[in-house]
Structure formats: C-alpha cells, structure tokens
Amino acid sequence: MALTGLDIYKQLPKKNCKECGVPTCLAFAMALASGKAALDACPYVTEAAREALNSASAPPIKAVKFGKDSVLGDETVLFRHDKTFYHPTTLLIHVSDTLSDDELRVKLQEIKNLEFERVGLHYSIDGVAVVNDSGDARRFAQVAAEMAESTDKSLVLLSEDPQAVKAALVQLVSRKPLIGAATAANYEAMVNLAKENSVPVIIRAEGLDALNDLVEKAQALGYKEFVLDPGSRTPVETLANLTHLRRLAIKKKFRPFGYPVIAFTGKSEPLEEIMEASIYVAKYASAVVLKTSSQAHLLPLMTLRQNIYTDPQKPIQVEPSLHSVGNVNENSPLYITTNFSLTYYSVEGEVETSKIPSYILPIDTDGTSVLTAYAAGKFEPEKITEAMLACGIADKVKHRTVIIPGYVAVISGKLAVLSGWKVVVGPRESSGIVSFSKTLSLS
Amino acid sequence: MLIIGERINGMFTDIGDALRNKDPKPLQYWAVKQEEGGAHYLDVNSGPAIPTEERVAAYEWMVKVIQEVSELPLVLDSTNYNAIEAGLKVCKRPAIINSCPVEQVKIERVFPMAIQYNAGLIGLTMDKQGIPKDAENRVAFAMELVAAADEYGLQMEDLFIDPLILPVNVAQEHAPEVLESLRQVKMLANPAPRTVLGLSNVSQKAQDRSLINRTFLAMAISSGLDAAIMNANDDELVDVAATCQILLNRSIYADSYLKVFRAR
C-alpha cells in the first residue's frame, strides 16, 4: 500500500526551510505521496525516518519460508471475502523427545498416514515439530535426526536451550527448519543461531507488550526472519492475540507485528483440540502445532483449511467427469449440466431426491453457470458431444437419451444430430427435476 | 452515506420567523419530517435571522427544542464559535461542528473544542483568500486540516473535509475539480478523513435543481463522498443515495433496499 501524505509528513523535520524546493514540509509530504518529489531532496530527514518510510512501503506481513515449501505470512486482509487468504495454515504434529523409540515409530506411522484424497483434492500434513521436553540435548538431537531421516516434510525444532537447538540444527541445516523459541532469557543466542544458519526463528513472549519489546530487541541483532508466538495457550486468549496481531499489522502497519504467527493448542482431549485448532485456522494462525495425529481428527481440520483458503472470487468447480448418483445401472438416465459447483450440486441434490439412480455429466465451463456458459460459447453441442464420448457413457447405459437444461432447449436439435442421441429438454429449474423424472421415458 | 438534513436554517422564512418569535413548532416540524425523509443528522443554522449578540442563546434554544422531538445527532452550523459551543454544551449526542477553514486562529479555537465535546468537525478547503479553483490547492488545504487533526488528536474519521462545491451555472469549472479533490482526500491519511458537501449549492438559481443535485450526488459518492448536507425530503435524491450504497457494495442488496435505507 502506498504511503499517505500524513505518514510521510510525520517523519519530516517540519522546518519549512524550503531547501527541497517546496514551500513547506507539508507540501513536500504531499509531493512525495503523489510521486512528484524524492525524499533525497530533503537534507534534514533522519536515518530513522528514512528507514520508517522504507519499511512502511513493505508488505504488511512478511513472508517467512522454511522446510519443504512451507510459506507463512504474506497475508493482506482480515476477512477472506475482502480478497482472499493466500497461504494455507501450515499444520505441524508435535513430537516429544520423551517418547520411547517404540512410541516414536507409532507416531511416525500415524504422521505418514496423514495424506488424504478427497473430492479430487490431495490433503497432506506439512511437517513435525520436535519438542525438547526431556531437557536432554542429546536425545533431542537424536529424535530430530530420526524424524528428518524418516520424513521429508518440514521440521520445527523447539527448545528453550540454544545449545540443544544448535546440536539438533547442525546436522539439519540443509532442511531449513524453523527453530525456537527465542525468549527474553535466551533471545540473543537463539536469534544469532538462526542468523548464522539462515533459518527462521520463533519469537515468544507472554502477551503483546512483551512480544513487542522482544521483537524490537531481536530486530536490533540485525535479523528479521521471525515467526511470532504471543505465548497464550487457551483458545480465548489466543483468538484475541491472533486478531490483535493481524489487525495491527494490516490496519496500523505496526511493524514489530508484521510477521506470521504460530499457534500451539492447549487442549489435550483430541476432539476439543481439533475445535481449538479450527479457530486458529479460521483466525489468522500461519502455523498450528497439534498433539493429535490420528486420521479421523485431522481430515476435518484439513477440509476446513481447504475451504477457508479457497479464493472467494473464483467460482468453485466440480470435476468435469461422469458422476453417478445412487446405484446406477444400464437404465439410469443421463443429465447434462455445467461444472459450476452451485449449478452442479443443485442438480445433484434434486436428482438424489428423485430417488432414481442417475448419471450426471458436468461439462467443463470453467465453473460458470448454464446461461453464463451458453452466452460465452462454453456450452455448445460440439463440446457436449465430445464430453459424452470421452466419459464412455455409451458403454454404461443401453438407452441413448440425454437430458439437457431447459434454458438451453435451443441446442437440442444440433446436439441430437452430432451425438446421435435422443435429446430430451429438461425443466428450466433443477427444482423441476423430481416431477420431471417421474414422467421420463428412456425408450 | 450520511444524509445531513439542511432545512433547519434561518435563511428559510418559516425558520427565520420561528427564531424571531421563539416558536419551536417549525423547528420541531422539520426535525421530524427530515428524519422521516431519511436524514441521519440535522443541520442547525440560525442564519442572519438573529442578531449577532443573541446567537449564543439562540443556538442553545434551538438544540434544546429540536432534541425534544428528535433523537438525531446535530450539525451545528455557524461562523460564531461561541454560539456553536453553547449548542455543544446541551447536545445529548456527539454533534458535528460546521465548520472550520484553514486559518490558524480558527483551527486553534475549533479543533480543541471538537475534542472537548467529542464532536466531529467539518473542515473547509479554503482560507481567508477564498476558495481555490483547482483540485491541487483544495487537497493542499485538506492536508493542512489532516495535519491539524493529527496534531490535536482528532480521530481521522471525525474530520469531514468539505471541498466546497459552487453553483454550476456560474462556476461550472469547479465541479470536476471537487470530484477530483474527493478522490485525492481519501489518500491523505490511513484511516482516511471523511468527506462532506453542501450539496444544494451546486444548483443554486439553476433550472431543474433536483436533477442537478441527484446527478452530482451520485458522481460525488462514487468519487468518495461520505456525507452530504442536502434536502432529506427530496425522495428521488434520497433514493439516489440509497442506490449508491448498493452499487458501491456498502450495503448488502435486497429488493427492498430503498425501504431498508430509510429504516436503518
């Protein structure tokens, strides 16, 4: 976002000396805001002001990358309907180094199982967070190494002890893990460790004021690859913190909070934990660390993440392949519609209600509705004929009748000629399908 | 889009007489009627009907009698800041001060007063020399008002910049400059100051006033206008304000949107 005249004016010396060639600092600020002047024309602007003006034109939340393709931050809105959320929440499974080797094997297998195919999409877990609960640096490094060995996913290394993190990190630098947490007690060692190894680091403090202080101190060490943790571990506090952090970063361009945020669940009962994590996915957490790793718990959370991070401006599409409703057989009718999800599911719902097992073939219209697609030349007899051939419906049914939406009755003749099928014009609205289907004769 | 009803003004004969006779009825009649028309605020202006030395008492009286019949917040419209202050003291809801030009003495008097009484403030993009012709100078004045708001701690949303529209029949070249000013004012600060116009000015002594008013209103709203001091009982004009809310995606569309806008 461009700087406003007021933002710039506040950083100027207010001497009104005219040395920049403009009568007042106020007028100079406006000239800068409209791009008619350069800041260098003012000999009195301080280094701090220059820095403030430069960073004010940076994106509100920094993008922080780590591990295997994990991108945190780089968001611009508070509500997805205003634009979209860009980077889906990174989901990480908590792995404690107090687990025995046997328990570790079980955990690892569970993590490997967190891959899902659903409605034509692939969901997967993003990584593991190895936590140094044992207090033993050697064990921590050992478990971290084992995790790195057995999975290629992103890694987070968590310990209060910089020496422990260092020991674990040395062997894994090439995996670019996220490390942490830098706290008031250890931030110098932890941030310098991150800086030396070019890995991002979690900055943790209790509450927003303390976090603000700590981020500024950490920035003073000359490093800016941060992920914030406001320290809260209850849903109500974390929700408030996540909201404040996102709001201050975007609305007020508050630079110390211009970093992605990581959330840790506090609930230990898995169903409660998933509800808690759902809040954080919906409300601005860039990463969430979870204790549960069972498929039943993670699938709904990953589905929610998928839904929240879809682009509301783009129409949602269904796969343009032959769908079946109920136990279809060789006598099942064939309905044609478009692959716009609203259109498709309206048809599917009514076909389901008709209780007649049926095939539905959504034509790929780039996710547009019947009339929109027709007007744009994306729902024409040639294309429908092609799709009917490609899906192999002719081998699945013994009749040769296809039902088209009532609003495109005009294409029925040409479609009949091209496809060789009998074309029946269905009702204009899908709500008419139930009564229509009762009178339908396929012979 | 805030509609500020313009009708309680001593320039109108019935209000002028009412002020001279201390008769609250015409003021109360117009307060209720403008609210029914769709007004969100009521402008209160004694005009020249009252001698200068009586204005302080007059504003206190006007505010009191209007508040007897209406819950709407008020816009206190006068160049006499003592009169405005007397009115502010008896306002039950946060009011708006109308207005302050870019003159240091006035800024020093009015901005602290706005803060003290938790009032909004209409700032005019003009100084002692008068109204600038082009957008650039209007915006430069607006920037001075924005800087003053920042200095005195007035919330940017409480500052209403008025880029001053003039009658189209005698100052035609001003209208496009005002539209451009509305656009640029929105970029001066974040959050941006709000904007307001004395809409009816655009059609003073012109033909088809209502048509000119509502056409310019639509153009101005689309350029960034947030509020207008206007005829709240011109139904077609209020319909335009309501329709703009829909077309700018500020209110969720419903078939009954005209009704919803008035019902609030």
**pLDDT for A247-278, tens place per residue?**
999 988 888 999 999 999 999 999 999 999 99
- With CA atoms as reference, the chain A residue closest to B192 would be A4
Query: What pLDDT shows up at residue A1?
Result: 47
pTM of the model: 0.79
| Distance to chain A for B187, nearest Cα, Å | 6
* Tens digit of each residue's pLDDT (9 = 90 or more) over A99-142: 999 999 999 999 999 999 877 789 999 999 999 999 999 999 99
| Distance to chain A for B170, nearest Cα, Å | 30
Q: How far apart are the first and last CA of chain B?
A: 12
Q: Which residues of B touch A9 (CB under 8 A)?
A: 143, 147
Contact A7 B140 (CB under 8 A): no
Helices (H), A73-161: 101-112, 137-150
**A26 vs B144, B189, B192: nearest CB:** B144
Please give the structure tokens belonging to residue A13. 């010396």
Closest CA to B219 of B233, B240, B198, B204: B240
Contact B188 A33 (CB under 8 A): yes
Query: What pLDDT shows up at residue A233?
Result: 94
* Tens digit of each residue's pLDDT (9 = 90 or more) over B120-153: 999 999 999 999 999 999 999 999 999 999 999 9
Helix (H) or strand (E) holding A92: strand A90-96
A49 confidence band (pLDDT: 50, 70, 90): confident
- pLDDT, average across residues A152-166: 96
Query: What pLDDT shows up at residue A99?
Result: 95
Return all residues near B138 (Cβ < 8 A) that are at least 6 apart: B125, B132, B163, B164, B177, B178, B181
| Exposure string over B223-245, b if 16+ CB within 10 A, otherwise e | bbbbbbbbbbbbeebbbbbbbbb
| Distance to chain B for A355, nearest Cα, Å | 35
Closest CA to A305 of A264, A344, A329, A277: A277
Query: What pLDDT shows up at residue A443?
Result: 61
Q: Is the Cβ–Cβ distance between A182 and A165 less than 8 Å?
A: no
Here the ipTM equals: 0.76
A73 confidence band (pLDDT: 50, 70, 90): very high
A59 confidence band (pLDDT: 50, 70, 90): confident
Contact A2 B187 (CB under 8 A): yes
Closest CA to B181 of B135, B130, B233, B118: B135
Q: Which residues of A touch B150 (CB under 8 A)?
A: 6, 10
Which of A6, A34, A78 to mutate to probe the B interface, most B CBs <10 Å? Answer: A6
**A33 vs B144, B150, B187: nearest CB:** B187
Contact A5 B144 (CB under 8 A): no
Furthest C-alpha separation in chain B:
52
- With CA atoms as reference, the chain A residue closest to B184 would be A34
Kindly state whether A78 is in contact with chain B, defined as any CB-CB distance less than 8 angstroms.
no
Round the average pLDDT of chain A to a whole number and report it.
93
Query: What pLDDT shows up at residue A2?
Result: 66
Q: Which residues of A touch B189 (CB under 8 A)?
A: 4-7
CB contacts < 8 A (A, B): 38
Residues of chain B with pLDDT under 70: none
Percent of chain A past pLDDT 70, that is, above it, reads 99
The CA distance from B102 to B79, in Å, is: 13
Closest CA to A404 of A426, A431, A372: A426
